[in-house]
């Protein structure tokens, strides 16, 4: 496995990070352009708060964990100031999107902008310890907790009472965010929150019948036989399993570690397209047609998160099954997603592995999964 280390490290530091440094900074208004075509040219100037916050986090994290380079810190600060000045409504909720100048376009209709904003300011505070960053991170985290029971607020279209579903996304993100913010939140709060989050992921959303992680369950945790209730996203589940591995490491919990590895491998076997290779985006756990037309596409983040999971699982156990899966997913990922002609990776392939949107960044793809995945695998292989 260790022979892959330089591949991941060099791709991150020589190709991917320079791409975002060269093309994404908006020198006029601050913040980042994320809608970048194959060569890095801007094709749309809207600013999507998830991606703004994730890029602040990424550059801050590199400053903390790789090198406190002034250029990297400057990149993080330019996004953080833009977000601080424009990102929130009067109640402190982060919008979904802004125009280039920072005026709000789409309301805070869910809680994920806030999750990534808290992660961003918390990471920046570690390398640029200004009180306002800490305050913003902690206030936003508290706001997330207070909105947990109805994260969509008035934008929730579900009729109350008939079928109250809860979504996997929130406990999944919290399982990562809580550890990310531990130094700000304090050990006591983390120890108080983490068991509940692990329970939600591993006992409630991990369905004991199918062994799969479901995207939505009823409020009481039971299975709901509907489009939403049958939906699984293998990439989402596998990403959550490496968050579980991080938690198992932090708390020395070998039982959690082994269950996370078993669940991740089971999900990967289930989600792997044995005919054309790659991991499906969405599946129906009962084998019915999903209502997502993009269900069989192959997305970049799914494959990068899977590589992180497999690297960590191998590093923790030495299990040869994890190694052979790593090699198989590595091969598919690098031959299909990496653009041989220009820096950064493609995001969207059809089932057959053909690029179907040649963008390097867009409304949902920014400076996050590719560099985070490369970084995580590099660091994990370094521990072998």
Residues at the interface with a second copy (CB under 8 A): 35, 37, 43-44, 46, 95-96, 99, 103-107, 109, 154-155, 157-159, 162-163, 225-227, 288-291, 293-297, 348, 350-351, 356-359, 362-364
Q: How far apart are CA 294 and CA 236, in angstroms?
A: 15
Question: Residue 51 CB, nearest distance to a second copy (Å)?
Answer: 13
Q: How far apart are CA 305 and CA 1, in angstroms?
A: 17
240 or 359, CB closer to a second copy?
359
171 or 347, CB closer to a second copy?
347
Residue 361 is given by DSSP the state S
Q: Which residues pair with 221 in a beta bridge?
A: none
Q: Which residues pair with 279 in a beta bridge?
A: 272
Question: Residue 294 CB, nearest distance to a second copy (Å)?
Answer: 4
Candidates 136, 115, 87, 114; CA nearest to 178 is: 115
9 or 230, CB closer to a second copy?
230
Question: Residue 43 CB, nearest distance to a second copy (Å)?
Answer: 4
130 or 150, CB closer to a second copy?
150
Q: Which residues pair with 217 in a beta bridge?
A: 166
126 or 351, CB closer to a second copy?
351
Candidates 242, 214, 234; CA nearest to 310 is: 242
Label residues 90-106 b or e (16+ Cβ within 10 Å = b).
Answer: eeebbbbbbeeebebee
91 or 255, CB closer to a second copy?
91
229 or 343, CB closer to a second copy?
229
Residue 296 sits at the vertex; the CA angle it makes with 168 and 360, to the nearest 5 degrees, is: 85
Structural contact between residues 282 and 232, judged by C-beta atoms closer than 8 angstroms: yes
Question: Residue 78 CB, nearest distance to a second copy (Å)?
Answer: 22
68 or 158, CB closer to a second copy?
158
Q: How far apart are CA 271 and CA 119, in angstroms?
A: 29
Structural contact between residues 297 and 351, judged by C-beta atoms closer than 8 angstroms: yes
Query: Could you tell me the two tokens for 47?
Result: 């600013």
Torsion sign (Cα): 20, 245, 174, 131? negative
Torsion sign (Cα): 116, 118, 119, 120? positive
Q: How many CB atoms lie under 10 A from the CB of residue 301?
A: 20
230 or 330, CB closer to a second copy?
230
91 or 159, CB closer to a second copy?
159
Q: How far apart are CA 299 and CA 318, in angstroms?
A: 28
Structural contact between residues 214 and 229, judged by C-beta atoms closer than 8 angstroms: yes
Q: How far apart are CA 252 and CA 211, in angstroms?
A: 24
Measure Cα distances from 243 to 205, 334, 363 in Å. 15, 23, 25
């Amino acid at each position: 496995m260790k022979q892959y280390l330089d591949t991941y490290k060099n791709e991150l530091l020589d190709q991917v990070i320079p791409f975002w440094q060269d093309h994404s900074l908006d020198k006029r208004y601050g913040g980042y352009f994320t809608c970048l075509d194959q060569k890095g040219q801007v094709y749309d100037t809207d600013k999507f708060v998830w991606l703004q916050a994730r890029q602040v986090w990424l550059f801050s994290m590199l400053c903390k964990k790789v090198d406190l380079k002034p250029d990297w810190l400057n990149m993080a600060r330019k996004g953080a100031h833009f977000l601080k000045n424009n990102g929130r409504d009067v109640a402190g909720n982060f919008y979904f999107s802004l125009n280039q100048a920072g005026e709000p376009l789409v309301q805070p209709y869910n809680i994920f902008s806030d999750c990534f904003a808290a992660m961003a300011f918390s990471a920046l505070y570690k390398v640029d310890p200004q009180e306002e960053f800490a305050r913003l991170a902690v206030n936003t985290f508290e706001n997330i907790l207070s909105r947990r029971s109805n994260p969509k607020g008035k934008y929730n279209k579900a009729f109350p009472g008939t079928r109250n579903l809860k979504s996997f996304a929130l406990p999944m993100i919290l399982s990562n965010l809580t550890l990310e913010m531990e130094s700000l939140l304090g050990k006591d709060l983390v120890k108080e929150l983490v068991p509940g989050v692990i329970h939600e992921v591993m006992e409630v959303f991990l369905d004991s019948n199918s062994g799969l992680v479901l995207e939505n369950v009823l409020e009481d945790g039971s299975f709901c036989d509907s489009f939403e209730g049958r939906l699984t996203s293998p990439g989402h589940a596998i990403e959550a399993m490496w968050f579980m591995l991080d938690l198992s490491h932090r708390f020395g919990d070998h039982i959690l570690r082994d269950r996370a590895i078993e669940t991740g491998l089971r999900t990967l076997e289930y989600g792997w397209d044995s005919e054309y290779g790659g991991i499906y985006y969405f599946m129906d756990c009962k084998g019915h047609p999903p209502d997502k037309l993009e269900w069989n596409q192959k997305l970049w983040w799914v494959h990068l998160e899977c590589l992180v999971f497999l690297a960590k699982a191998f590093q923790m156990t030495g299990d040869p099954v994890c190694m052979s899966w790593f090699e198989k997913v590595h091969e598919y990922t690098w031959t299909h997603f990496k653009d041989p002609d220009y820096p950064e990776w493609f995001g969207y392939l059809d089932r057959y592995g053909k690029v179907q949107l040649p963008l390097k960044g867009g409304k949902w793809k920014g400076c996050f999964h590719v560099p985070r995945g490369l970084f995580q695998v590099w660091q994990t292989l370094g521990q072998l």
